Amino acid sequence: MEKLKWALRHYPIAWLTGLLILLACGVTIIMTNSHSLTITANVVNVRSGPGLSYETKRQIVQGTKINVIGHDNDWYKIRLSDDQTGWVASWLIHNTEVGTTTNKVAKVNKSSVPVYEYARTSSDKLGTVSDARNVTVVYQQGSWSQILYKNTVGWIHQGLSLTDQAPTTKSNQTPKTVTTQLSGVKLRKKASTSSAAMQTLKKGTTLTYIKTVKKEWYQVKTKNGQTGYVASWVVSLMGAQDVTTTSATKLSEATIVLDAGHGGNDSGAISGKNTYEKTYTLETVKQIAKDLRKQGARVILTRDTDKYVSLAARPALSNKDKADAFISIHFDSSKTADSLSGVTTYYYNSQKDMKLAKAINTQLKGLPLANKGVQYGDFQVLRQNHRPAVLLECGYINDSNDYKHIKQAAYRREIASKVTTALENYFK
Ligand SMILES: [Zn+2]
């Protein structure tokens, strides 16, 4: 680290060159003068701190000039032309939460449609777009569309007709390249972690992308012409906006992010026996993970110990890892003990989440607790999730009958087996 700081101080140009390489995924930057860079990707999130758990302050779009004024690990502190500062991730540009699939062009079909900062009418108004204007839609969520607007992005509510117009492709592309994100990445003979390694690659090694196989492996070619496979989760792919993530058709092909509610100093609800929700959510998630892994799924946990994880970091992980399903586990509690009971499946965006919610709830009906059905829930872990996501309240921890089950490992095994069956059906 010290060496790196020294190098930054003494070789700013070398550092910028490194930055160019690091910013490989989807973003190409052009140096205009010493420290000023121009973003050429569609949209990049600017966060309030150097990490995914920090909130997105704003988003910047193609053509925006930024000045890099510092760094912290893989994050760059930047100053925007309007003197605002923020942080951008160097490595995950192709994983930004804003859809990186091809943008659509839409025509505004009402006069003076307001553009909001966030997808709610109570947020700040950035301005209006007028009738018949074409806008580029970067993301859609229910009846809200996120559009490119001035030098940022904004949200409009309805008021759009999607046209059949060809998408605004920036008709690049130079051959796609894959860059290793860690040192020790193995170039393998076959697309499997059990296949023999032909080479161990250093961090920052650039390879030519050939194709994606088995959903999460890239066939690549090295500089000296050797062909092999690297795991997609340890590399970044440049020009990734051109690669559409096909949804898994089998549980064994799927990436499942499991989210144990609460943790650390956030203990969640408390039972009549002074035990905590956070303990049972973690135990349940571990059991589900075990069952899903047996079926070959790639399972990622937002926490696997009793530690605090911010609410924002949970959906961010789901978005970053392109989860095929995100499941958050909780236990309810009511104001008065022993007044409410049962299991609820929550969704936020019916388009994206309903199929998953129904598949899971159908199975949860077999649990020994009352089933309260599928319901809408405005939870941050669902709201900020761009992947199919649900939140399960697996019983009331302060209801003595529900709690009799909740405290039992047998109940958690039942939940796990039902969630696994549900996912098997969901991916069929
Ligand atoms: Zn909870």
Q: Are strands 217-221 and 206-213 parallel, antiparallel or unpaired?
A: antiparallel
Q: In what order do the strands lie in the sheet with 134-141?
A: 125-129, 113-116, 152-157, 144-149, 134-141, 104-108, 160-162
Q: How many CB atoms lie within 10 A of CB 308?
A: 12
Long-range contacts of 277-281 (CB under 8 A, 24+ apart): 277/330, 277/331, 277/333, 277/397, 278/306, 279/306, 280/331, 280/394, 280/397, 280/406, 280/407, 280/412, 281/329, 281/330, 281/331
Distance 35 CA to ligand 1 centre (A): 45
pLDDT (tens digit per residue) in 321-355: 889 999 999 999 999 999 999 999 999 988 889 99
167 in the Ramachandran plot: left (φ > 0), alpha (ψ -120 to 50) or beta? Answer: beta
Please state at what angle helix 350-364 crosses helix 409-426, rounded to 10 degrees. Answer: 130
Distance 280 CA to ligand 1 centre (A): 10
Domain annotation for the chain: domains and CATH numbers = 2-93 (2.30.30.40), 104-162 (2.30.30.40), 177-242 (2.30.30.40), 251-426 (3.40.630.40)
345 neighbors 390 (Cβ within 8 angstroms): yes
**E-assigned strand segments in 102-239:** 104-108, 113-116, 125-129, 134-141, 144-149, 152-157, 160-162, 177-180, 185-188, 197-201, 206-213, 217-221, 227-231, 235-237
Which token pair is 305? 């110990």
Distance 30 CA to ligand 1 centre (A): 46
Distance 268 CA to ligand 1 centre (A): 5
Distance 51 CA to ligand 1 centre (A): 24
Distance 388 CA to ligand 1 centre (A): 19
Distance 258 CA to ligand 1 centre (A): 14
Distance 281 CA to ligand 1 centre (A): 8
Distance, CA of 416 to CA of 337 (rounded, Å): 26
Phi, psi of 352 (to 5 degrees): -90, -35
pLDDT (tens digit per residue) in 280-311: 999 999 999 999 998 888 899 999 999 999 99
25 neighbors 177 (Cβ within 8 angstroms): no
Distance 314 CA to ligand 1 centre (A): 14
Of 344, 328, 340, 349, which is closest to residue 403 (Cα–Cα)?
A: 340
Which token pair is 377? 């829930």
Of 342, 422, 365, which is closest to residue 388 (Cα–Cα)?
A: 422
Look at the chain and count its residues: 428
Distance 396 CA to ligand 1 centre (A): 10
Distance 198 CA to ligand 1 centre (A): 46
Name the DSSP letter for residue 270. B
235 in the Ramachandran plot: left (φ > 0), alpha (ψ -120 to 50) or beta? Answer: beta
* 259 contact partners, CB below 8 Å, separation of at least 6: 285, 301, 302, 303, 314, 318, 326, 327, 328, 329, 381
3-state secondary structure 42-84: CEEEEECCCCCCCCEEEEEECCCEEEEEEEECCEEEEEECCCC
* 164 contact partners, CB below 8 Å, separation of at least 6: none
pLDDT tens sequence for the chain (428 residues): 455 555 556 665 656 555 545 444 333 333 323 345 566 556 677 888 877 667 777 887 766 767 667 666 566 778 776 667 888 866 433 323 233 334 567 777 777 888 888 888 888 888 888 877 777 776 667 778 877 776 567 888 876 665 534 333 333 334 577 777 677 888 999 998 889 999 998 877 888 888 888 777 888 988 888 899 988 777 766 543 322 233 567 888 789 999 999 999 999 999 999 999 999 999 999 999 999 998 888 899 999 999 999 999 999 999 988 899 999 999 999 999 999 999 999 999 888 899 999 999 999 999 999 999 999 999 999 999 999 999 999 999 999 999 999 999 999 999 999 999 999 999 88
Q: How confident is the model at residue 276, as a pLDDT?
A: 96
- Find the farthest-apart pair of alpha carbons in the chain and give their distance in angstroms, rounded: 69
- With 0-12 / 13-18 / 19 or more C-beta atoms within 10 angstroms meaning exposed / middle / buried, residue 105 is middle
